Amino acid sequence: MSAEKLTTLPEAASLVRDGDTVAIQNMATQAAPMALVRELIRQGRKELGVVCLVGGIPVDLLAAAGAMNRLIGAAVSMEQFGLCQRYRKAVEAGAIRVEELSETALNARLGAGARNLPFLPTRGLIGTDLIDVNDNLVMLDDPFGGASVVACKALVPDVALVHAHKADQFGNIGYEPTALWPDLGIMPKAATTVIVTAEEIVDSEVLRANPDRTVLPGFMVDAVVEAPFGAHPTSFFPRYGYDTAMHLEWIGATRDDEAVAAFMEKYVTGPADHVEYLETVGGAERQAALEGWEQT
């Protein structure tokens, strides 16, 4: 008998403690576990370390809320919507410390964490200044006599946050046909605790019909929560596109503190839960528009 993993958003988010290192699935404007990120801010989480490949609006919201004090990642950008301004300001003010890694170095750190190794090497980054400013990267002679490599120290995030299309109550996670988000390949496998929100909770038989689409096994997952449109305002292919209007509203708000506070109150701390959030952003009508992709 498999263990029951289905829970509520507040219960799942409470698995994250102040000070934790939290890996967040995200690729600029794509596929972020936003319902969980908003809930972490609602619960007043502090001093988080955020791990991301290319962080977008979730990083900017966590920075704006004062919920994070460090970032480990390859880039932070909302692509066409520009730099994450609140994150940028916090870094420039010394409130967030950045461990900037190339993509292969981040993959190596997480890969070593997943496989219980002290480090994995990469050939990336050689010649850059990123090695000198980072104690987790060390040049290493090839013991077999070849060219030197960069040893990337194992990284084991306390928690990984993932959004998925489908999950059963036992934490088996199913994906619809899509590019696998870069982080899914390694972040949850390296993390101590894995929390997944899913567009829909389905019967296990639904996953059994397409077992090749099951991307994470239930034994790896600690909590699953149903959160339709849980990646909003980022996109979640093939279900819905990114919300251009909300990204623009956020970019506009980041120019002054009062507008940021108003945005956070309206969209993050104000709504009591994810259902209220979806009503606030336009309900079924808005969701249908985003499902059409052309609105994005």
Which stretches of the chain bind another protein, using CB under 8 A?
A: 27-30, 53-54, 73-77, 79-80, 83, 87-88, 91-92, 94, 97-98, 100-105, 107, 111, 122-130, 133, 147-148, 177-186, 235, 237-238, 241-242, 244, 293, 296
CB 19, min distance to another protein, A:
20
CB 131, min distance to another protein, A:
10
Q: Nearer Cβ to another protein, position 4 or 142?
A: 142
Residue 34 contacts residue 278 (beta carbons within 8 Å): no
CB 90, min distance to another protein, A:
9
CB atoms within 10 A of CB 43: 16
Q: Nearer Cβ to another protein, position 151 or 225?
A: 151
Beta strands in 77-213 (DSSP E): 97-100, 119-122, 137-140, 149-153, 159-167, 173-174, 193-201
Residue 170 contacts residue 204 (beta carbons within 8 Å): yes
Q: Nearer Cβ to another protein, position 209 or 248?
A: 248
Tokens of 206: 């639904």
CB 216, min distance to another protein, A:
13
- Encode 4-19: b = buried (16+ Cβ within 10 Å), e = exposed: ebbbebeebbeebeee
Q: Nearer Cβ to another protein, position 46 or 89?
A: 89
CB contact set of 64 (below 8 Å; sequence gap of 6+): 86, 254, 260, 264
Nearest-angstrom CA–CA distance, 64 and 264: 9
Nearest-angstrom CA–CA distance, 41 and 45: 6
Q: Nearer Cβ to another protein, position 133 or 275?
A: 133
Q: Nearer Cβ to another protein, position 184 or 196?
A: 184
CB 242, min distance to another protein, A:
7
Paired strand residues for 229: none
Nearest-angstrom CA–CA distance, 64 and 46: 12
CB 290, min distance to another protein, A:
12
Q: Nearer Cβ to another protein, position 205 or 294?
A: 294
